[in-house]
Structure 1
């Protein structure tokens, strides 16, 4: 998809270009011609624009976001949303590309301060080497201009994420529709007790994996979604309606 607007920044690193496009109303982060990594509304910087980011926010119905690890930054629109709406939250953000971190701060108002710490390193290296307190949520959204980083599906990577979570913690994976199938789900079912999925209209396949099963009824989740939607500024119900709870025994 060709992005409309004016190119206001172009930088390069060993992984390729980093572009910022501005159409007057929104800004876009891109890693190449026709690539859209992130979208940011200038008048409402805390309001996620992309469907898959909004779908990932369904995890907020399942756990309190007090300690969060984000593996992959993009423009930081999800992180800005969480920072603004959940003032008790503390975030650790891991991003491979220094250029992306700098652009997120400069052009997309990624917050700075004690509640957000960025790590310029590979996600797997962070999981292997950097100590941190157990997290309520781990968001794994590792993409480049070619698509999903395959390490995101590696059994060792998934196990490291599991170990970093609190007993009631959740892992949220942003995948693509081509990754649908039992291989990833079977790996997750060997670790997690509660697995749910949501497919967006754009084709993202969001996987939610909880260490303990959430016992809320669909009615309770819908009530929560209605309240949380008022806080976040967008409707969660369309995404909740597409969330499927998987029956793990059929995977094994």
Structure 2
């Protein structure tokens, strides 16, 4: 078994924040046995967790210029988006100062004018409204107990929709038990024209909601997935085959 070294160990009002390193991967953890983020040190832009890879399916439907990420973690999604999309502006909202500090210190976050990090409650932040609407909004709001159930609230879904452009996309990372939550599915359909989802096989149910129905054929999506896979460093086609329309 690979030896994991503890690089960082702190705690705030929400629980522990720990960073481990085994020489190949760096891991952010919020609880014993938990992996909030995993980054390969040699290729920080290549997503390691299945659910984060699945979330990148949104790039088949939109080529975003502006992205908002709710929940920073170790910032692995920032790495992937920054690498894959030329000129993209990324705004991440993170509740916990300790998490933001750990991401900047240990996870090689890209820096520059196109990266904005905001310390705030993501739910409140969306209710207040973004300064500018975005093409792509991704939610990855988790804590020591798991997914923040505020993500399921009608007001939050409505706020998200208001802050996304007319041709934009919302991606929600949920627990698998939301797969059979028909009320939540119908709620999303009130605000979005087309809604897709997939079971990652690791306990996550990733929902992709589009403001406008996609124009691509199945073959065109497959070709786009193959092309994007080389840029992302993993097979996006694998996740495309699991995606179904709700």
Return the TM-score normalized by structure 1.
Answer: 0.94
The 8 Å contact of residues 129 and 163 in structure 2, kept in 1 or not, is answered as no
**Cα separation, 2, equivalents of 1:129 and 1:112:** 26
Q: Which residue of 1 aligns with 2:49?
A: 50
When residues 4 and 178 of structure 1 are mapped into structure 2, their CA distance, relative to the original with a 3 A threshold, is: farther
- Residue in structure 2 matched with residue 211 of structure 1 by the alignment: 211
1:148 matched to which residue of 2?
147
Q: Which runs of 5+ in 1 are unaligned?
A: 247-252
Which runs of structure 2 are paired with 1:82-93 in the superposition (5 Å)? 82-93=81-92
Unaligned runs of 5+ in 2: none
Q: State the shift of 1:130 in Å.
A: 4.7
> Could you tell me how far apart the structure 2 residues matched to 1:109 and 1:222 are?
32
Partner of 2:18: 19
Bigger RCO (CA 8 Å, 6+ sep): 2
Tell me which residue corresponds to 1:241: 241
Q: Does 1:189 align with 2:192?
A: no
Corresponding position: 1:61 with 2:57: no
Return structure 1 stretches of 4+ with deviation > 6 angstroms.
none
Provide the alpha-carbon RMSD of the alignment.
Answer: 1.4
**Secondary structure at the residue paired with 1:180?**
helix
The CA distance in 2 between the partners of 1:212 and 1:195, in whole Å, is 10
SS at 1:202's partner residue? coil
1:209 & 1:43 partners in 2: Cα distance? Answer: 33
The answer (yes or no) to whether the contact 2:14–2:144 under 8 Å persists in 1 is: no
SS of aligned partner of 2:38:
strand
User: Counterpart of 2:138?
Assistant: 139
Q: Report how far residue 4 of structure 1 moved.
A: 5.7
Q: Deviations over 1:53-108 (max 9, x none)?
A: 00000000000121001010110101111112223100110000011111011100
